[in-house]
Structure formats: C-alpha cells, structure tokens
Amino acid sequence: MSLIIDNISFSYGDRPILSGLSLEVPTGTTTAVVAPSGSGKSTLLRIIAGLIAPSTGSIILDGKDLSRVPTHLRSIGMVFQDNQLFPHLNVYDNVMFGLRMAKTEKTIAAKRCRDLLDLVGLSQVAKQSVATLSGGESKRVALARALAPSPRLLLLDEPLTGLDSELHDRLAHDLQRILHATSTTALLVTHSLPEAEIISDSLHRLPTAVNSVQDGEKK
C-alpha cells in the first residue's frame, strides 16, 4: 500500500502551485513534506484525497491509479489543522463515526474504538463532550477517528498547529509512536522541520521550501 506521487503539477489560473512533484511513501512508513505556508502543501493533500484534480501527473496507491476513483472510495483518512470534530457527538461517537458509516459489525467496531482510545490515551473521557476537551485531547480524538476505519493512507495537514511548545513536542512523539504501532502509511505536511524530524521516517521538500532538507533523507 505504498503511495506514489508521479509528476504532479497544479495551478490556480496562471499561478503555478505545484510543479512536477514526485515522491514515494513506502508502506507502513511516514513521509513528511516540509515547506513554508503558501507553497502548496495542503493543495497536494487535496489532490491525493481526490478533492481537486491535478493539472498533470498521477497518484498511485497500492499499485492503482486513483485518477478515476471518487474521493469516498479511495480509503484515505485525513487529519486537519482544525480537527473538524463533530460537536454534537461525544469522544467515543466521534471515533466510531467512520466505522458506522462503513457498516462495521457492532462488536468489531466497539472493540476497534476502545482499542484506539486506549492507544491515544483517551479511554477515561470516552463519553465526554468534545467541546470540553483541551487542544491536545481534541487532536488525539481527530487522529483516532481518522485511524478507526483502517485507511490505506493517512494524510496529516499540520496536525499539531496551535499547541504550546511543550505540548506540541510531546504530541509529536506520541503521534510517531501511534503511527508506528498501527503500521500506518502516512503523509505529513508541515512547515516545521523539528516536527517532521520527530514524526517522519523520511523528509521531502517542495521546490519553494526554505528548509535545508534533502529529498528522502531523514536527519
């Protein structure tokens, strides 16, 4: 279930956003794309998810070209900067949402949900309203919800934005541990080189990035 991004380009009108981008995310590993704001990181994720179409190039997942595959059939999970939790659902039901949508058998879904809440350290707040959670807890719920349906690929869009430095670093290490524990194939986009170094197995930079990171090399 490796991800291959092959010669992807995209423009908004006459403004080029991505140009000839190629990279591979091997199965069960996390690759980070490091670049400053406005350089096309989120656009890349939207292309992979099928929310927008590239101008050129292809996205291949598990050996299959996704060009003609609708978004809802790609089996791709996504964690957003702002979490996008469902405010009317408690922690447990937020994590359970994707499993219910997939019509997963109830006992299997319940075990999966409990296991993920244990993994992200939120079992004790399972029935709590998400409106009462701290910023770090909300991000853990968003991660557990994205992982619940066992996606073939997980996309992480600046997932630790808005946290103070101490909590940010702690959650970065926790995220790395969780992704490895679940053998998840993941693509992280971030402007933070230290964050990428903690979470990812390899690093890649967009052509416009200012960070001195060699493609495919983990420092």
What tens digit of pLDDT does each residue of 149-179 get?
A: 999 999 999 999 888 888 999 999 999 999 9
The pLDDT-based confidence of 211 (bands split at 50, 70, 90) is very low
Asked whether the predicted pLDDT for residue 213 surpasses 60, the reply is: no
Q: For residue 60, what pLDDT is reported?
A: 97
* Residue at 93 is within a domain: yes
Question: Residue 24: which domain range?
Answer: 3-205
- Which tokens is 94 given? 């937020």
Q: What is the mean pLDDT of residues 2-15?
A: 92
Alpha-carbon distance of 93 to 110, in angstroms, equals 10
Q: For residue 207, what pLDDT is reported?
A: 65
* Residue at 215 is within a domain: no
Assign residue 142 the CATH number of its domain: 3.40.50.300
Pick the more confident residue, 122 or 217: 122
Three-class DSSP category at 47: helix
**Overall domain count for the chain:** 1
* Residue at 219 is within a domain: no
* Residue at 210 is within a domain: no
Instruction: Note the pLDDT tens digit of each residue in 92-137.
Output: 999 999 999 989 999 999 999 999 999 999 999 999 999 999 999 9
Helices (H), the chain: 41-49, 91-101, 106-119, 135-147, 165-181, 193-199
Q: What is the mean pLDDT of residues 145-149?
A: 95
Q: For residue 155, what pLDDT is reported?
A: 97
Asked whether the predicted pLDDT for residue 209 surpasses 90, the reply is: no
Alpha-carbon distance of 129 to 141, in angstroms, equals 11
Asked whether the predicted pLDDT for residue 210 surpasses 70, the reply is: no
CB 117 within 8 A of CB 123: yes
